[in-house]
Structure 1
Amino acid sequence: MKTFVRIVLALIVIAVLVIAGMIWIPSERTPAQALAPDSEVSVARGEYMMRAADCIACHTAPEGKTFAGGRAIQSPFGVIWSTNITPDKETGIGNYTLDDFRAALYDGVNKEGAHLYPAMPYENYRVISEADVQSLYKYFMEAVPAVNNKVPETDLAFPFNQRWGLRAWNWVALNPVGFDAPTDDQMINRGAYLVQGAAHCAACHSPRTMFMSQKGANASDPAFLSGGEVDGWSAPSLHGADSVAGQWSVEQMAHYLATGRNDYATAVGEMSLVVGDSLQYLTPEDNTAIAAYLKHISGGKTPAAPDAANRTVTDTEKLLASADPSMPLGPRLYLDNCSGCHFVDGRGAPEIFPALDGNLMVTADSPKGLIYTILHGAELPSTETRPARLRMQSYAWRLSDEEVAELATFIRQGWNNNASAVTASDVAPVR
């Protein structure tokens, strides 16, 4: 019900913005900026920034040619089709000048002057430096093969099909172009530059305003990176002592970014794609810089490692270890389907099977991510340092909606977890 009300409010607000867009027309184009004398512009730098910006994930359709577009991006207002960003002159960006390219990245305006939907994270890309913009342009124009591929037209219902109304949205949502270094520490600043800009972490990990813009452009806003939702998945908070960044060490966080796994968790859902297509290609120094920045905005403290020898055995572990035939359905389903990998203590195996006790996806406000994983399984990306593509099987074929609800409730409330129960009506839409 809350989601429905939020969407209705957004519809009303954006309809007002559409009308406002008829009256007020802000400046769209950002003029060329002078490069510092020592700034390097190169194809190699552009390719690296393409990886940091994760362009492949959105602009490559399943089984399609790289960057040729045609991927369906789900939004609360309908499907948005990603564009062809190869240098094809007919269907891609082959006729784009550098100024056209910059306007798309910074302002969300294409060569014809039409507004791009903010599924393209130009809110974040406004942080990218001029040298990196020019390098990206050089890479796409000189190193990417042109692919003639006409993608489907995005056709949203009124008023969202009135793209010119996004002028008013941009006025509300966009911050000034450029990056403000938050500290005197060069490593933390580098991490901030990547997190706030190319890596566009806030697109998933920040909540949305009533205008559907991202809350907070940097850590001066406590809502920045405080958790969001992506296609039903809960993206955990990365800001604050109770967040993932607050609970993990810089080393564990950097390892997760590069491999999709660490001693506490494994990447699933959209994050698996981010690791596979983007973060694994960053240098160890940049992944460490990202982790250092996230640790910085989360208080900078690393909690003590759990004392495995003196840990408290939970009632859940005792129940599961007893294998009592009369135990409730939830724990019985866990023993039958989950304990072989995640074990009766719910701690899993580091870098292979994620811990379920204390797992932030398990205990998220929305159980949809956990339900989806139980129904459809999950797969870890293959990376250079961890090439094994580990996969959890799906259970949709084996468990009914009621059984999935019982199992999910048990996991969300077992060991030291204390999350809300799951019902069969929560499972059915995900199935």
Structure 2
Amino acid sequence: MPHADSLILTLVGGFVLAFVFGMLANRLKLSPLVGYLVAGIAVGPHTIGFVADGELAPQLAEVGVILLMFGVGLHFSLADLMKVRKIAVPGALFQIAAATAMGWGLGRLMGMTDLEATLMGFALSVASTVVLLRALEERKQVKGQIGRLAMGWLIVEDLVIVLALVILPLLIIQPGEALNGAELAKSIGWTLFKVAGFTGVMLVVGARLLPWLLVRIAHTRSRELFTLGVLAIALGIAWIAYWLFHSFALGAFLAGLVLNSSPLGHNAAERSLPLRDAFAVLFFVSVGMLFDPTILVREPLAVLGVLGIVIVGKSLAALAITTAFKLDRATSLTVAAALAQIGEFSFILAAVSVQLGGMTQGTHDLILAAALLSISLNPFVFALIDRMGARPRPPLKGSPEGVILAEEKAAAVNPATA
């Protein structure tokens, strides 16, 4: 492909095919993410026909990662998390630990190193917020206590991912750079200290400076300048975080988090949404380009193994923790089904692991295969739990979800006490 045309052809091929396959997936009652990934496979090097620029697509995808994490920060709600913290925080951490342990066990059986097996399990433990929101919207449960619990659960997972992306470069040691336990602990401690300092600066100084800056830009009454200002803040802070911690995700997330609390946070989210959607599509297309579909034929048992962890293992872990908190049957089953898939953050973790040399391309393909299949099968998982009794019922007095609902009703009656 001529270098002068590579950007245009990559954008045209990615967007057009993503639209076509996304529409087809939507008609088949599947998540459009499946269509975007298939579009990437179609323009990737493992299929015949047009092949997009394999060097340019990952760079465009990196912008997609920044805007995805910026969107997570913009929609992060500490208030919603605090309402369900007693269940969501321990539940998410237990489920992540259980899925990581299962992935490590499977990886070791397949001959992986401890590090690669752990990274695979960790990538399999994180559910997709996009897929979850779509499922809850179709069931009209986004604003109910079940939806809030599931979203709070994923908020905790998102926070864990942000920290993991910062620490990951320290864990994946290149040949000749071996660190002993004390040196590794010191490096991780120092990095976390810098992260805490950067976060503090963003939440104290950034929370004053960035909203003030947005207000000044808004006074120009220029939509273009306001949109550019939002993007400049997101990309600029992401670059600073990359310079400090080699993590675009942390800076983008904190930029969104700070703007979320500003008076113009809603406008910032609205202005950045079209570009976030566009580059998110390119991110999924680029992930599909890296996928070798022949792994479904070459290693069917391995694919079934990772898929089993995602759909069965994670669901059982979620059922165990929700049952331990004495949640009702409908809530437990719905949360379990909502987590029985993986998506964008699994791709990010896998891509970073491959880039750093901690994961092989074959393991990356296994994770992507599990994502494609689990997202496609997620509607059927919800249909199954409905037959098992996952129908919302009024919460019992004194139960955790009953307490949550009672607090919300009291706050609605007297907002001053909220």
Using structure 1 for the length normalisation, give the TM-score. Answer: 0.24
Using structure 2 for the length normalisation, give the TM-score. Answer: 0.25
Which structure exhibits the higher relative contact order, with contacts defined as CA atoms closer than 8 Å and separated by 6 or more residues? 2
More helix per residue: 2
More strand per residue: 1
Q: Rg larger in 1 or in 2?
A: 1
